[in-house]
Amino acid sequence: MNPLDLRLETPRLILRVPRDGDAEALAAWLAEWEIARWTANIPHPYGIENARSWIADVRASIEAARALTFVIERRNAPGAIGGVGVALDGPGKEGDLGWWIAIPHQGNGYAFEAAARLVEFCWSMEMTRLTAGALPDNAPSLAVARKLGMRPNGKMLRSQPARETPRETMEFVLTR
């Protein structure tokens, strides 16, 4: 199967590989500083060109087995409302999870539902260890990690490609 055709489902959601037609929705949601500020990789300001190049990069990473990155859609209303993904290490046994949900759609349990499905898929791919990092004051993200059963694993200074300086993150780990 072509990895770009990968699609995961949950009771309410569809996780599918980003495509060019997602650029406008992504640019609209990700332009919000209230989303970007909590993340390491989302530039600010953020426009349609950022979304287009992100989509191209993501698709290349998936084809090269460096990441599994999905947009999240509701089953009953097509259109990306969030994202969830895992950056893979070289041998593909370990990965680092990330998630975001557009502001109007937060608080519905979508991040947990999508991330839990991705975790299940990672285990089915024989992965053995997943990590996640969140800023210490990112209460909703810390809650998602804990709800996934991830164990706190101390703090770490993580580089933040879209920010000027590394930031201290709370680290979480989950093993199969």
Ligand X SMILES: CC(C)(COP(=O)(O)OP(=O)(O)OC[C@H]1O[C@@H](n2cnc3c(N)ncnc32)[C@H](O)[C@@H]1OP(=O)(O)O)[C@@H](O)C(=O)NCCC(=O)NCCS
Indicate whether 150 belongs to the interface with ligand X (CB under 6 A).
no
Q: Judged by CB under 6 A, which of 55, 68, 134, 174 binds ligand X? A: 134
Positive or negative, the Cα torsion across 70, 133, 108, 125?
positive
Using the minimum distance from each CB to ligand X, give the nearer residue, 50 or 141. 141
Sheet-wide strand order for 67-74: 7-9, 13-16, 67-74, 77-88, 94-101, 129-134, 167-175, 151-158
Indicate whether 144 belongs to the interface with ligand X (CB under 6 A).
yes
Structure tokens at 152: 């706190």
Binding characters for ligand X, 50-89, by CB under 6 A (x = yes):
----------------------------------------
Indicate whether 106 belongs to the interface with ligand X (CB under 6 A).
yes
Q: What is the dihedral of CA 148, 119, 96, 101, to 10 degrees?
A: -70
Q: Judged by CB under 6 A, which of 99, 117, 130, 150 binds ligand X? A: 99
Structure tokens at 72: 């999240």
Pairing between β-strand 129-134 and β-strand 94-101 as defined by DSSP bridges = parallel
Binding characters for ligand X, 15-44, by CB under 6 A (x = yes):
--------------------x--xx-----
Region of residue 168 (phi > 0: left; psi between -120 and 50: alpha; otherwise: beta): beta
Structure tokens at 113: 């539902």
Q: If binding means CB under 6 A, how many residues of this protein chain bind ligand X?
A: 21
Indicate whether 138 belongs to the interface with ligand X (CB under 6 A).
yes
CA dist., res. 146 & res. 128, Å (int): 18
Stretch that binds ligand X, among 3-11, 43-51, 120-128, 134-142 (CB under 6 A): 134-142
Using the minimum distance from each CB to ligand X, give the nearer residue, 39 or 131. 39
Interaction site with ligand X (CB under 6 A): 35, 38-39, 99-101, 106-112, 134, 138-141, 143-144, 147
